[in-house]
Amino acid sequence: MAESNSEVEKVVLGNFVQDLILTSQEVQTNYVYTEGGVGFRDALDSGGIPVIDLSLLTSPFELTKLHHALSSWGCFQAINHGMSSSFLDKVREVSKQFFELPKEEKMIYAREPNDMEGYGSDIIYFRDQKLDWTDRIYLKVQPEEQRNFKVWPEKPNDFRTTVIEYTERLKLLNEVILKGMAKSLNLEEYSLLKECGDKDTMLLRFNYYPPCPMADHVLGLKPHADGSTVTYLLQDKEVDGLQVLKDNRWFKVPIISDALLINVGDQVEIMSNGIFRSPIHRVVVNEEKDRLTIAMFFTPDPEKEIGPIEQLVNESRPKSYTPVKNYTDIFFQYYQKGKRAIEASKIQLCEAE
Ligand SMILES: O=C(O)CCC(=O)C(=O)O
Ligand SMILES: [Fe+2]
């Protein structure tokens, strides 16, 4: 259901934002928003994003809190997730060390022009595409046999082992979260995990946002919702920048040291028949400081068709989405055009009006 490619001129490898800064080039127009730009950073402070203690997730009280968090905000800050502060520091540290390497050492892991995996910046699909002020490393970390080590940094030398350990830890955590979500929906606890199929995929993205001289007119990441089932974000420890849209207003996501920000992606919105929402979020940049975040996206087995879970469909909540397969594939083209892929799966419920 991807859109026609008529606008797509060619897919090219863009500039690295880090290079633009090092060479003090003027900010190119493709990064600059002329309308609605001023004030990107003026979002509301939000102490309101729920904080959930995962060590209590078996209690009915915490499950109710989880249900409420995911149906109102679509995200929460997870504390007591079992990963130590020093381990999370290590994950941040090896990531930062990679971006600090000289250009030629990073380029060994550059992505191919048509490929997402590896070190790169936005794929350019069409001429007027708005570009994100960010460089990334994108790695498929699961299934294991699909790891493309050609694009996995070997420097710093503990990069790979740290990434593999982080992957293992998040795999376990994701089970806890999907079971908790299912229970909070009064479903059998494995129902969401089963819906993801046997070969679910994990994509790890390191987002590096260099400082930007036009921070009020440029976005680190344009507004989007994630195409995942669930996303786990390890924020920068010192520099904020993430904002979440709720009731048409942008709220800043505060930094809670060692918490993970967990958000619903489009595919859990579909599975939950819209009870849980996949929140729209964006990233603003900073004039002086760089920022680094690490996002792990879980997606179902691409061979597995997913759709609203039957028990969540009834007269008062009719089926709102058509089943989809390999949702991730269509997601990125929509994203670059500033559109939401989930619209393609939504059923128009005219008769309910
Ligand atoms: O860097 C952030 O704060 C958010 C990253 C994000 O939204 C993403 O990678 O999809
Ligand atoms: Fe995101």
Helix axes 159-184, 85-99, angle to 10 degrees: 130
pTM of the model: 0.93
Among 77, 133, 221, 244, residue to substitute to test ligand 1 (most atoms within 8 Å of Cβ)? 221
Q: Which amino acid is at 84?
A: S
Q: Is the CB of 281 under 6 A from ligand 1?
A: yes
Collapsed DSSP state (helix, strand, coil) of residue 298: strand
Binding site membership of 291 for ligand 1 (Cβ less than 6 Å) = no
List, in order, residues 6 or more apart from 108 with CB less than 8 Å away.
none
Which ligand 1 atom lies nearest to the CA of residue 220?
1
Atom in ligand 1 nearest the alpha carbon of residue 235: 3
How far is CA 222 from each of CA 111, 226, 293, rounded to the nearest angstrom?
A: 21, 12, 15
Q: Is 204 in the pocket of ligand 1 (CB under 6 A)?
A: no
Pocket residue to mutate for ligand 1, from 132, 242, 280, most atoms within 8 A of Cβ: 242
Whether the complex's predicted ipTM is more than 0.95 is answered with yes
Q: Whose CA is nearest to atom 1 of ligand 1?
A: 293
Distance CA 279, CA 224 (A): 8
For residues 267, 271, 275 and 280, what is the CA-based torsion angle, rounded to 10 degrees? 0
CA atoms within 13 A on the CB side of 245: 13
Distance CA 184, CA 151 (A): 39
Tell me how far the alpha carbon of residue 222 lies from the centroid of ligand 1, in angstroms.
10
Alpha helices, H only, 154-225: 159-184, 191-195
Residues 14-352: name the CATH superfamily. Answer: B-lactam Antibiotic, Isopenicillin N Synthase; Chain (2.60.120.330)
CB of 183 shorter than 6 A to ligand 1: no
Q: Along the 353 residues of the chain, how does pLDDT read in single tens digits?
A: 333 343 333 445 568 899 887 666 678 888 988 876 567 888 777 778 999 999 999 899 999 999 999 999 999 999 999 999 999 999 999 999 999 999 999 999 999 987 889 999 887 777 778 899 999 999 999 999 999 999 999 999 999 999 999 999 999 999 999 999 999 999 999 999 999 998 999 999 999 999 999 898 999 999 999 999 999 999 999 999 999 999 999 999 999 999 999 999 999 999 999 999 999 999 999 999 999 999 999 999 999 999 999 999 999 999 999 999 889 887 876 776 678 889 888 886 654 43
pLDDT at position 340, please? 87
